[in-house]
A and B are shown apart, each in its own frame.
Chain A
Amino acid sequence: MFEQIQSLGRTGLASAASIGRAGVFLIRGINPGRNSKAVAARIVRQMYNLGVLSLVIILVAGLFVGMVLGLQGYNILVSFGSEEALGQMVALSLLREFGPVVTALLFAGRAGSALTAEIGLMKATEQLSAMEMMGVDPMQRIIAPRLWAGFLVMPVLAAMFSLVGIWGGALVAIDMLGVYDGSYWGNMQASVVFYDDVVKGLIKSVIFGLAVTWVAVFQGHDCTPTSEGIGRATTNTVVLSSLLVLGLDFILTAVMLGGF
């Protein structure tokens, strides 16, 4: 009994300390250094790894999510005789919620886990310590470009996800189910507001991008440098960043619907 309480306390203290380390880590890792040309080259390389390589899964997932929304929405709306409203339903749900959230979840699985494994392996093979020995700050050289790349790449991916999803919804609605295409696009354009729906969705995705990459690089940098530790850190990245994204989404939605 006493031991269990002790272990509970230890776990609590350890997680509090790890949150503190994560905060310090973000502040130290946000500065990419001064040599702007080299910094840009490093960020571009990471944008390729995180963004361009995630493109296929994001586009395919967006297409199918949009198509499913089209099918489900049609079946619900047709019983009210208002299947013309399908366009606005698909567009609003994609732009406001599915675009940012599903992209962030896929991004955590595709890019976040890879980041954790990469940095964890660097730590396990003592590449990070070797850099420090050479007088190169691994926070600037390794962590900062990845954080910035994740931050920049997420809104682009989320916007592409939404656009492909809306197109997929149109494909199902217009070509398969026979909704009149004028009312699909017309109702959408009448109800989607650029700032309230598109821009707010992108603000969400920027925040999610930062959250996911932050968790991923921190878990990699903080892992136990063994093969088992890297495995656990990778799992932690996916679980923690997914939960963080969903929790943050609720808070952000509440704030944004409150008229922010």
Chain B
Amino acid sequence: MNSKKLELAVGAFMVAGAITLILLAFKVSGLSYQAENSTYNITARFENIAGLGERAKVSMSGVTIGRVTNIRLDTKDYVAVVTMAIDKSVPLSTDTSASILTAGLLGEKYIGLTVGAEEETLKDGDKIEDTQSAIVLEELIGKFLFSKSAAQ
């Protein structure tokens, strides 16, 4: 095989490798270059986030409208503070409520938002007041057993 053809074959091979990497990045790992100003940040405080992770989905009516970008513990009140990046095209009213839900029985945790009635909308850096923590199965069972024994 002459060297021209050989170089062409190796070049095609490397280009295919680069395309593979791009496909792995965008199609498989869902990496996306969202411009900084296409989302706005809102925070919500939860008593218990029970396994919610960064990059978890934020959805409304089942449609993904953002992602969790940061989770930290507020050491004053000892509650979890979750920061979410929400798509700019989705305005949320100030009385929107947030709850932590599970996709399926064993699925991942995500934040579900429920629409409110206020005219005013949340702006960058605002806080969702109305939150509902994750349901922890052990706590639920504990409460059930306690109420059973109290009733007897």
Residues of A within 8 A of B (CB): 41, 44-45, 47-48, 51-52, 55, 80-82, 84-85, 91, 95, 155-156, 159-160, 162-163, 166, 185, 187-194, 197-198
Residues of B within 8 A of A (CB): 1, 3, 6-7, 9-10, 13-14, 16-17, 20-21, 23-25, 27-31, 55-57, 104-108
- The answer, among A44, A81, A189, A198, for a CB contact under 8 Å with B10, is A44
Q: Do A163 and B23 contact each other (CB < 8 Å), given the known contacts A44-B10, A156-B13? A: yes
Task: A159 to B28: give the CA distance in the assembly, Å.
Answer: 12
Chain A residue contacts of B31, Cβ below 8 A: 194
Q: Do A47 and B20 contact each other (CB < 8 Å), given the known contacts A41-B3, A188-B28? A: no
Q: Do A95 and B10 contact each other (CB < 8 Å), given the known contacts A156-B20, A160-B16, A190-B108? A: no
Chain B residue contacts of A85, Cβ below 8 A: 106-107
Task: A81 to B104: give the CA distance in the assembly, Å.
Answer: 9
Task: A85 to B106: give the CA distance in the assembly, Å.
Answer: 9
Task: Summarize B's interface: helix, strand, loop or mixed.
Answer: helix
Q: How many pairs, one residue from A and one from B, have CB atoms within 8 Å of each other in the complex?
A: 82
Chain B residue contacts of A159, Cβ below 8 A: 17, 20-21, 24
**CB pair B13 A95 closer than 8 Å:** no
Q: Do A162 and B24 contact each other (CB < 8 Å), given the known contacts A81-B105, A192-B30? A: yes
Give B108 Cβ to nearest chain A Cβ, in Å: 7
Known: A47-B13, A48-B1. 13 other contacts (CB 8 A): A44-B3, A48-B6, A48-B9, A51-B13, A80-B106, A91-B28, A156-B17, A159-B17, A192-B29, A193-B29, A197-B29, A198-B24, A198-B29
**CB pair B57 A190 closer than 8 Å:** yes
Task: A186 to B21: give the CA distance in the assembly, Å.
Answer: 19
Chain B residue contacts of A91, Cβ below 8 A: 28
**CB pair B28 A48 closer than 8 Å:** no
Chain A residue contacts of B10, Cβ below 8 A: 44, 47-48, 51-52
Q: Do A189 and B30 contact each other (CB < 8 Å), given the known contacts A41-B3, A52-B13, A198-B24? A: yes
